[in-house]
Amino acid sequence: MSVVSSIQQSSIESLSALFSQPFTEKDFQVNQTKPEFEGDYTVVMFSLVKALKLSPDAIGHQLGNHLVANYPQLFSKYNIIKGFLNLSISDAYWTGVLNKNYNDTCYGKKEMNGKKVMVEYSSPNTNKPLHLGHLRNNFLGWSVAEILKANGYEVIKSCIVNDRGIHICKSMIAWQKFANGATPQSTGIKGDHFVGEYYVKFNDAYKQEVDELIAAGKTKEIAEKEAPIMKATQQMLLDWEAGKPEVIDLWKTMNGWVYEGFDVTYKRIGSDFDKIYYESNTYLLGKDIVQQGMDKKVFYQKEDSSIWIDLTADGLDEKIVQRKDGTSVYITQDIGLALQKYEQYGIDQSIYVIGNEQNYHMKVLQLICQKLGMPNADNIFHLSYGMVELTTGKMKSREGTVVDADDLVEEMVATSKQHTEELGKVKDFKEAELKELYDTIGLGAMKFYLLRVDPKKTMVFDPKESIDFHGFTGPFIQYTYARIKSILRKVEEADGASAVNHQPSAISLLPLEKELIIAAEQYPAVLEQACTEHNPSVIANYIFHLAKTFNSFYTEHSIANAESDGKKQLRLQLATFTAGIIKSGMQLLGIKVPERM
């Protein structure tokens, strides 16, 4: 039980005993005491005034006296400041928390709760490489999935690959026209980059043809429709839908190149999936659902035979669900896939990690599913996140407008190498160790910077700032972890035994020792909050605060040369506890922590 839960429970018992009526934790608030006041946690009295017909101070004095008298193992003293009951938690309680948990590698994590969640993220197109926006998406989706696991959920990580449609055909046509049989293997270019270059070549050729047609007297609108390369692309899409063998073969070949490239990037950034859906397999889903919707009078048919739903009464608009030629639209496919996910896995919640430009689409999806009476419709959750941009926009980009994920990763690793070498503390590292360290710092810096911001916020990624060893960054936390591990190793080497060899008996705590235990004790509540909010930034901010608190503590208090053996053991426990929480929290963000750096 957390300290807050213990305070709530003992306060409920005391209030009930004092005033002979029932209370719940909803009847009062428990907050951390503000730094300018004495105490650790504060019980707010004002909400009790009406029911008890006493002043806040009078209630506080009665409650404070009862708590200190009846729960001495938890409370040492109290004070009242203008209706706020400030409680000091006993040193014995905090050392008990430390003794019990300092070496628990599963601290804060919950038992399985029997609930199943699918988290869908990444969702790339197979006509170009992953970019900076995909990185925020992948890091966010992967981290949310791990946070859910830590809170007891069974999680299926999924991805829907947009592998069909006119954009794919553009790359295919350009390859036919300009490649002369070139392949990723023959050119030495990574498969997704290779195909992406032909998407760019299509756009260049299309623009040129449109300009020529305009110069010949066509309007821009007509020129865009009549450009030969666009007509060829539209024909290729029809041929693909008709199953023309040579088109299907080329489509499979080029998508295969892209998947190989994606796999390299996913492995590099530490992203993985349990289930991958392909739009080429799902784009016909939902047709049966459209008929069911017609039967239920949820949908209606227009004179041109297209099928629609009217959502104006829900504050939205009319939405087409099937074209007049009988083909499905994106929303129809998404409805079909939502049902398929539920039927395949029996999920209790379906989380979609999708940018905020799709907020409207996701509202419509859930609303239609609800009106159709689909199981699990109420548990569709859109984890909407803001766009991410660079400070300068000058970093190398293969398409001129989008920052390539692979380029950004390499840039971050190169920057981490430069910074680490400038610090000059890795001269005894072997080459393989250095390579792993630069990767760990570079990727950690990028992930932490992208995850430390609330997902809902649009953000600017500053590569230089993200790798500052002294700022609100991943490398600062990684360095703190490595520092703690170094301290523990040195003590073990000096003592010739395990660093922590016994539990200290009752011992008084200095303010910074107590502050560090209080911060560490909050980790389970932080994990729960991050899960409830689907928000990894809660963990990122907490771990940074914990690392800062440890550094303040260690600046003031020696561990190896503590003033007594009891203090030494206490501080060794504190260091071990802090390091374990940092490692656990960073792992949930997908970030490795080096044992030395």
* 282-314 tens-digit pLDDT: 888 888 889 899 999 999 999 999 999 999 999
Q: Are 150 and 108 in contact (CB under 8 A)?
A: yes
What pLDDT does 313 receive? 94
- What is the rounded distance in angstroms from the CA atom of residue 512 to the CA atom of residue 569? 16
What pLDDT does 20 receive? 93
- Residues 6 or more apart whose CB falls under 8 angstroms from that of 48 comprise 15, 27, 28, 54, 56, 59
**Over 80: is that where the pLDDT of 506 sits?**
no
Tokens 């709530």 belong to residue: 8
Selecting from 1.10.357.10, 3.50.50.60, 3.30.1360.120, 1.10.730.10, what CATH number does the domain 412-588 have? 1.10.730.10
* 220-251 tens-digit pLDDT: 999 999 999 999 999 999 999 899 999 999 99
**Over 90: is that where the pLDDT of 56 sits?**
yes
Q: Are 307 and 331 in contact (CB under 8 A)?
A: no
**Over 70: is that where the pLDDT of 116 sits?**
yes
What pLDDT does 394 receive? 44
pLDDT, average across residues 141-156: 98
* Of 93, 82, 95, 75, residue with least CA distance to 11: 75
pLDDT grade, residue 197 (50/70/90)? Answer: very high
Quick check: helix, strand or coil at residue 62?
helix
By CB atoms closer than 10 A (0-12, 13-18, 19+), residue 499 is buried
What pLDDT does 330 receive? 87
Q: Which residues does residue 75 pair with via DSSP β-bridges, in sequence order?
A: 89
pLDDT grade, residue 391 (50/70/90)? Answer: confident
What pLDDT does 393 receive? 54
Q: Are 139 and 275 in contact (CB under 8 A)?
A: no
* 208-220 tens-digit pLDDT: 999 999 999 999 9
Listed by start position, the domains of the chain span 3-89, 165-273, 412-588
Q: Are 222 and 213 in contact (CB under 8 A)?
A: yes
Please report how many Cα atoms fall inside a 13 Å half-sphere around the Cα of residue 405, on the Cβ side. 31
Query: What superfamily in CATH does domain 3-89 come from?
Result: Arginyl tRNA synthetase N-terminal domain (3.30.1360.70)
What pLDDT does 497 receive? 61
What pLDDT does 399 receive? 47
**Over 70: is that where the pLDDT of 401 sits?**
no
- What is the rounded distance in angstroms from the CA atom of residue 354 to the CA atom of residue 121? 7
**Higher confidence at residue 422 or residue 475?**
475
Phi, psi angle pair for 118, to nearest 5°: -105, 130
Mean pLDDT of the chain: 92
What pLDDT does 67 receive? 97
* 355-374 tens-digit pLDDT: 999 999 999 999 999 999 99
By CB atoms closer than 10 A (0-12, 13-18, 19+), residue 182 is middle
* 510-521 tens-digit pLDDT: 999 999 999 999
**Over 70: is that where the pLDDT of 505 sits?**
no
pLDDT, average across residues 524-545: 98
Tokens 């005894």 belong to residue: 428
DSSP state of 389: E
**Over 70: is that where the pLDDT of 397 sits?**
no
Q: Cα angle vertex 238, ends 234, 241, to 5°?
A: 140
pLDDT, average across residues 25-34: 93
Pairing of strands 388-390, 380-385: unpaired
* Of 387, 386, 388, 368, residue with least CA distance to 377: 368
